[in-house]
């Protein structure tokens, strides 16, 4: 649905109604439709209801609300998941103030949420509530893959350099062994020649 269509819906004449028009239902996500109906349902007043001005709503006992209401409308009974969904659609929690000091949340304190387009008696405003876009991680994923590829290539080059060094050492070692063998053979020949000469001299001079 285009932005122009959403604005046109938002400008429709208002009536104090808790029901969405057919056009609004086609544009409003199911979570927002259910939320609006939950807040408007008088059977839930002990647990969730509009503020006095109708520009925000209260969850009066979040544990009972999760157990007795969420389970009837959603496939879970987790209040944290409910709050996470609210945050994803741009709802803000209004902090409690008492004598100028922020109060901490306890089981008995109400949770107050607001959104500029979530008002009592104005269901067609819901089409203006947009889900926050998730940050695109495609570029970072591409960068991560590229860095991994470059790292693997660097490791491969390092391994190739080590292999070349090992081959050079092996060749050098083979040459040393070959030279040592030739030296030993020459030494044996010289020793044999010296022994022959000594034997000859011993025979000549008795």
pLDDT in tens, 143-192: 667 778 777 877 888 788 888 888 888 888 898 898 889 888 988 888 88
Is residue 68, in this structure, part of any structural domain at all?
Answer: yes
Is residue 159, in this structure, part of any structural domain at all?
Answer: yes
Q: What is the pLDDT of residue 139?
A: 61
Is residue 140, in this structure, part of any structural domain at all?
Answer: no
Report how far residue 87's alpha carbon sits from residue 135's, in angstroms, rounded to the nearest whole number.
15
- Mode of pairing for the β-strands spanning 56-59 and 48-50: antiparallel
Whether residues 125 and 172 share a domain: the answer is no
Whether residues 126 and 168 share a domain: the answer is no
Q: How many domains does the chain have?
A: 2
Is residue 4, in this structure, part of any structural domain at all?
Answer: no
How many CB atoms are closer than 10 A to CB 133?
A: 7
Is residue 138, in this structure, part of any structural domain at all?
Answer: no
Which helix (H) or strand (E) segment is 112 a member of?
Answer: strand 111-114
Model pLDDT for residues 56-114, shown as the tens digit of each residue: 999 998 899 998 898 888 888 889 999 999 999 999 998 876 544 455 555 568 899 99
- Grouping H, G, I as helix, E, B as strand and the rest as coil, residue 114 is strand
How many CB atoms are closer than 10 A to CB 144?
A: 11
Show the domain range for 63.
22-132
User: If you count DSSP H runs as helices and E runs as strands, how many of each does the chain have, helices first?
Assistant: 7, 6
User: In CATH, what number is assigned to the domain containing residue 112?
Assistant: 1.10.10.10
Is residue 171, in this structure, part of any structural domain at all?
Answer: yes
Whether residues 28 and 110 share a domain: the answer is yes
The answer to whether the beta carbons of residues 125 and 149 sit under 8 Å apart is: no
Whether residues 150 and 126 share a domain: the answer is no
Rg (CA), the chain: 43
Is residue 61, in this structure, part of any structural domain at all?
Answer: yes
Please identify, among 73, 102, 132, the residue that sits at the C-terminal boundary of a domain.
132
Chain Cα centroid distance, residue 132: 16
Q: Which two tokens stand for residue 87?
A: 């945050």
> Residue 9 pLDDT > 60, yes or no?
no
Model pLDDT for residues 12-53, shown as the tens digit of each residue: 444 445 566 666 667 788 899 999 999 999 999 999 999 999
């Amino acid at each position: 649905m285009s932005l122009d269509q959403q604005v046109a819906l938002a400008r429709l004449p208002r009536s104090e109604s808790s029901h969405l028009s057919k056009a609004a239902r086609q544009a409003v996500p199911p979570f927002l439709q259910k939320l609006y109906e939950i807040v408007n349902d008088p059977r839930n007043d002990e647990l969730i209801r509009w503020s006095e001005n109708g520009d925000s709503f209260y969850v009066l006992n979040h544990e009972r609300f999760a157990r007795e209401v969420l389970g009837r409308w959603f496939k879970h009974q987790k209040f944290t998941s409910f709050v996470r969904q609210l945050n994803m659609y741009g709802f803000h929690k209004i902090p409690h103030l008492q004598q100028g000091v922020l109060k901490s949340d306890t089981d008995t304190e109400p949770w107050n949420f607001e959104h500029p387009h979530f008002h009592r008696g104005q269901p067609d405003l819901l089409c203006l509530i947009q889900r926050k876009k998730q940050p695109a991680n495609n570029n970072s994923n591409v960068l991560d893959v590229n860095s991994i590829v470059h790292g693997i290539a660097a490791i491969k080059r390092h391994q190739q350099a080590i292999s070349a060094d090992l081959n050079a050492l092996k060749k050098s070692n083979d040459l040393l062994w070959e030279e040592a063998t030739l030296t030993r053979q020459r030494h044996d020949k010289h020793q044999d020649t010296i022994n022959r000469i000594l034997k000859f001299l011993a025979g000549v001079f008795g």
